[in-house]
């Protein structure tokens, strides 16, 4: 949590700048690489002597976030942003004697800063090229449960990682007086976040690769927000 505060307070002086500011909230969908996670799941399938079936294989999932925009020039702006998302893999088997289940559950929070540049001159329909930079804080829980009759065995491993991301993208906005709506599309490029326990132990795949959180992938989102001040007269209306 202290890391999040550091990132936020580092940019607090921007709030005092007399510029065209806005605050937005968004929801979207993301796809995720998760190559080593899929390899670990495949290893469970191959090496556990049970006919486990895949239920989830790290599918696309919802993203939630927001941003604070501080206009720096008439056609560009900088700001702070934060996103939250999750995904996971599940293997399951059940018969008359009991059941087995293996969950790989991942969550991440991405705080960071961004720059956006308007490529047209419209006030009501501005179109932007965007660059988002972030720190990526990931958590994973690997939960294994085996129940046979009245006997149950439960094991759990908790892992964490920190890595960095860069998301180039595009964004279209529509302004309505003091409100703004937007749609954005981008692709997350991320360094691999090596997952470790609190004791710095790592988990490896059957190919002896360290387990990592690989959140790289497409991102699409829509959002709505409030214009905190307006410099409408400085741009060309269309």
Q: Chain-wide mean pLDDT for the chain? A: 89
Inform me whether the pLDDT recorded for 9 exceeds 60.
Answer: no
Inform me whether the pLDDT recorded for 193 exceeds 80.
Answer: yes
The pLDDT-based confidence of 149 (bands split at 50, 70, 90) is confident
What global pTM score does this model have? Answer: 0.84
- pLDDT of 1 reads 52
- pLDDT of 17 reads 37
Q: What is the mean pLDDT of residues 227-238?
A: 54
- pLDDT of 4 reads 47
The pLDDT-based confidence of 53 (bands split at 50, 70, 90) is very high
Q: Is 67:109 a contact under the CB 8 Å cutoff?
A: no
- pLDDT of 49 reads 87
Q: What is the mean pLDDT of residues 133-142?
A: 98
- Stated length of the chain: 238
């Amino acid at each position: 949590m202290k890391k999040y505060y550091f990132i936020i307070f580092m940019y607090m002086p921007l709030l005092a700048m007399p510029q065209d500011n806005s605050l937005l909230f968004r929801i979207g969908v993301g796809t995720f690489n998760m190559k080593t996670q899929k390899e670990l799941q495949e290893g469970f399938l191959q090496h556990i002597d049970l006919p486990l079936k895949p239920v989830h294989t790290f599918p696309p999932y919802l993203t939630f976030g927001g941003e604070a925009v501080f206009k720096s020039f008439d056609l560009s702006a900088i700001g702070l942003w934060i996103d939250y998302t999750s995904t996971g893999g599940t293997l399951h088997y059940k018969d008359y004697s009991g059941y087995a289940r293996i969950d790989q559950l991942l969550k991440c929070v991405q705080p960071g800063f961004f720059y956006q540049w308007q490529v047209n001159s419209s006030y009501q329909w501005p179109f932007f090229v965007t660059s988002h930079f972030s720190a990526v804080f990931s958590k994973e829980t690997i939960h294994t449960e085996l129940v046979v009759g009245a006997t149950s065995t439960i094991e759990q491993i908790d892992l964490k990682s920190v890595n960095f991301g860069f998301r180039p993208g595009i964004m279209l906005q529509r302004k309505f007086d003091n409100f703004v709506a937007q749609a954005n599309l981008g692709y997350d490029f991320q360094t691999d976040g090596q997952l470790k326990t609190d004791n710095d132990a790592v988990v490896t795949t059957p190919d002896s690769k360290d387990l990592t959180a690989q959140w790289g992938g497409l991102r699409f989102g829509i959002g709505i927000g409030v214009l905190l001040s307006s410099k409408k007269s400085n741009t060309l209306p269309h």
